[in-house]
Structure formats: C-alpha cells, structure tokens
A and B are shown apart, each in its own frame.
Chain A
Amino acid sequence: MTQAPIREPETKGKKDEEENEFKGTFIAVMLLGLFLIASWVGVWILFLVR
C-alpha cells in the first residue's frame, strides 16, 4: 500500500523521458515521409506535363 504512490511518479517520469527520446526519430521519419511524397508528386507532375 505504501509503495504505490512512490511508483506512480517514477513511471510518469520514465514516460516523459521516452517521449523525448523518440522525438528526433519521429521528426526524422516524418521528413523522410515528406521527401517520399514530394518525389512521388514530382514524378506524377512530370508524367502529366510531358
């Protein structure tokens, strides 16, 4: 019973830390996604105008 309140903030802190840890990965993967979309749209426009 006495252990519960101690554990809670511990896990919360861990979650925040994890989120920060993945922020860079998320941004990198989104940039990759935008690059894929931009190249796809570029090729598509090239096909339409030629």
Chain B
Amino acid sequence: MNMHKYEKIWLWFGTVTLFVFLTVVGISAFYMGNKPPSCAVTIDPAKAAKEAPFNEPGLTQIGDNEYQLTVLASAFHFNVGDPEGIIEIPKGATVHISATTSDVIHGFELAGTNVNMMLEPGYISTYTNTFKNAGTYTLLCNEYCGTGHQTMAATIKVVE
C-alpha cells in the first residue's frame, strides 16, 4: 500500500502512544492497586439507616493507620457520625470509605482528593484512599439532588 511518509510517522506515533498509555494504566491497576469506586454490594435504601454499618456512621479505626469511614447520605445531609459534620483523619492514614443513600442519588466528592463517587439508592459505594496531604477538605454532593443540594456538605480534616 502506498502511504505518505508523514502519515506513517503519525500512525506510529499514535500506536506507540496508545501502548504507552495502556502500559501505564495496567501498571497502575495491577501493580499499584488503583481501582475505580465499587458499588457491588446492595442494600435496601428504606432500611439503610437502621442496618449495620449505616446505623452507626462515622470513623472507626480498624488497624494500624487504617480506618473505616461509613457515611449515610440523605437529602440534604451527610451523616458522618458527628453532629457538626467534621471528621478528623491522621495524615498518611488509609481510609476505606463506605457510603450509601437512603433516598435519591447523591454525589460523594471530597474536593481536592481522588475520592469521587456516585451514591445510588440500593447500592453501597466503596473507595479506599490514602490521605497523603494534610489539610481541610470539603465533602460535597455533586449530583443535583433537590432544593437543598447546595447546603449538602461535611468537612474532613487531615491532621499531622
């Protein structure tokens, strides 16, 4: 096939780039263990507030520098187990986040971190994150959920 020299260079460039990207994603997934949020576990949204672990939301230590954060979202509130909606996490801790909603679809975004999930009624969304940088992060809803959507927030402080 007669192909222009420049076209061949461009095709090689594209092919090599694709394989470099796939290799990086592969190493990230299989070697570094990075994976997207999971929502494989189901729950009855009407009973979510009464069933474990969502009957007692909040932060619990489960190991050496390892925590479980359970959050129950509902219109228009994140129940993080603290009346003020503030959670403190030590810097460098690995936190397994489990969250669900008892009513409509909510977002679960911890602005400035990689934590960004969708909470769907009937599903438990999970994500594991290591908090490498200290600071105050806002947990907010990024799925329009109703008239009080903009007030739906909590605070997560990563402390030294």
Q: Which residues of A contact B (CB under 8 A)?
A: 18-19, 22-23, 25-26, 29-30, 33, 36-37, 40, 44, 47, 49-50
Contact = CB atoms under 8 A, between A and B. Distances in A.
Given A47-B114, A50-B113, A37 B6 contact: no
Interface of B: 4-6, 9-10, 13-14, 17, 21, 24, 34, 112-114, 132-133
Contacts of A22: 4, 6
Decide if the interface of chain B is mainly helix, strand, loop or mixed: helix
A30 B113 CA distance: 33
A44 B6 contact: no
Contacts of B14: 33
Given A37-B17, A50-B133, A29 B10 contact: yes
A23 to B, nearest CB: 8
